[in-house]
Copies of this chain bind each other. A is one copy, B any other.
Amino acid sequence: MSISFHPETSSYLSTLPGRYYYDPALYEQELERIFSEMWVCVGRAEAFLATGSYQVVSVGRESVIVVRDREGMLRAFLNVCRHRGSRLCTQASGQLKGSIQCKYHAWTYGLDGRLIGAPNILSDEQFDRTAFGLIPVALEVWEGLIWLNLADNPAPIEAQINGPVIERFGSFEPFTRYTLSELRVGKTISYDIQANWKLVVENFEECYHCGPMHPELCRLLPGFRSGKTYVAGDAAVLAEDVEAFTITGKASRPPLHGLLPEDLRHYYGIVLRPNILLNLLDDHVVIHTLWPTGPTSCRVTCDWLFDPQAMALPDFDPMDAVEVFDIVNKQDWEVCELAQMGMSSKAYKSGGIYVPAERHIREFADFVLDRLGHTQSRE
């Protein structure tokens, strides 16, 4: 079972060993070092329209309330009463009437997290109410996306997210032409996948599987058939006989208003670690948000975003765009689940290999090893 080539001297790099995809202890490390110490994307900012509008999201092992406060700011708090630990909000989303009240003993918190009500004790001199506000979670809005960070002293978000965008385009400016913060969600589909979250990221990071797995996608973007990797400003280009990235190949929406002629007919894919896969088309954007749900399972929420002006038209129908990635998604999840099944085999004890077309995604494995402090275990 020893592997005869030497990854250090070859274009064929070894993948992470199989245990990284099923070991509960390694999964716990990832929840801690990646999903509890990095900025993690949890959704779109425009979903919070009014004061008191809230959502409950999962980050790492925590349930977190995201809410728009009285000043119009988005805030995030651990969804835990400071008294006896009860979960405060039990719905996925909703509208609060100016405060958050615990059902158990009626402790009440302002939308800014301050403890403003606690029967019998609020006037007690011995009780320091300022010590019992909701525990805040760092929150940033970046291009319309809400990012949370459970760390006590999080690093600036730009240090984490801007890099991949600049690397993909050469500079940040072309990306801004997609006006991500101005777009709106036209359709959302969630998928439960019986595979470790990293297999989903790795699947997105290479197109070596596009030829065998994605005939519909390759029909629209013929360059994907070669399995080549697009880097440094290189875009995948629509097939000549195709008008748009839709299941019919026909265009049914104008391009996003900020784009230049040189952006048209282009596709860009970008990974914003740890949990966002971004797909930029000339008339819509598709965002995959990954939620680890266990060592061998994850959930992906897929949002299709459009120009709000296009959405306002009476005949707006997102489905010709939605169908493409819905098909591609299901094809991808199937092979991610097949890959998961092999992770615990002795055949994968030392991992498999990345071929040259997958070579640059070795960086993702290195990112994981670095975050976990496992750099020595890299072969």
> Quick check: B11 and A61 within 8 Å, CB to CB?
no
A224 to B18 Cα, complex, angstroms:
51
> Quick check: A341 and B227 within 8 Å, CB to CB?
no
A366 to B268 Cα, complex, angstroms:
60
A10 to B128 Cα, complex, angstroms:
11
> Quick check: B352 and A61 within 8 Å, CB to CB?
no
A135-B86 in contact given A63-B341, A119-B208 (Cβ < 8 Å): no
Q: Which of A99-142 contact B (CB under 8 A)?
A: 103-106, 118-121, 124, 126-128, 130-132, 135
Does A175 lie at the interface of the complex (its beta carbon under 8 Å from any beta carbon of B)? Answer: no
**Chain A contact residues: over half helix, strand or loop, or mixed?**
loop
> Quick check: A84 and B131 within 8 Å, CB to CB?
no
Residues of B within 8 A of A126 (CB): 5, 10-12
Candidates B90, B121, B131, B342; contact of A4 at CB < 8 Å: B131
> Quick check: B348 and A212 within 8 Å, CB to CB?
no
Residues of B within 8 A of A209 (CB): 104-105
CB-based nearest B residue for A134: B347
Q: Which of A328-370 contact B (CB under 8 A)?
A: 334-335, 338-339, 341-348, 351-353, 355-357
Q: Which of A210-264 contact B (CB under 8 A)?
A: 211-213, 226-227
Q: Which of A71-85 contact B (CB under 8 A)?
A: 78-85
A377 to B209 Cα, complex, angstroms:
52
A357 to B339 Cα, complex, angstroms:
50
Residues of B within 8 A of A353 (CB): 82-84, 132
A163 to B79 Cα, complex, angstroms:
39
Encoded as 1 (CB less than 8 Å from any B CB) or 0, chain A from 177 to 215 comes to 000000000000000000000000010000011011100
Does A87 lie at the interface of the complex (its beta carbon under 8 Å from any beta carbon of B)? Answer: yes
Candidates B105, B121, B344; contact of A61 at CB < 8 Å: B344
Residues of B within 8 A of A212 (CB): 103-106, 119
Does A289 lie at the interface of the complex (its beta carbon under 8 Å from any beta carbon of B)? Answer: no
A79 to B226 Cα, complex, angstroms:
27
Q: How far is the CB of A40 from chain B (nearest CB, A)?
A: 15
Does A159 lie at the interface of the complex (its beta carbon under 8 Å from any beta carbon of B)? Answer: no
Does A1 lie at the interface of the complex (its beta carbon under 8 Å from any beta carbon of B)? Answer: yes
Does A275 lie at the interface of the complex (its beta carbon under 8 Å from any beta carbon of B)? Answer: no
A104-B347 in contact given A126-B11, A227-B119 (Cβ < 8 Å): no
A192 to B131 Cα, complex, angstroms:
35
A200 to B253 Cα, complex, angstroms:
58
A208 to B105 Cα, complex, angstroms:
6
Q: What residues of chain A have their CB less than 8 Å away from a CB belonging to chain B?
A: 1, 3-5, 10-12, 15, 18, 61-63, 78-87, 90, 103-106, 118-121, 124, 126-128, 130-132, 135, 150, 152, 202, 208-209, 211-213, 226-227, 334-335, 338-339, 341-348, 351-353, 355-357
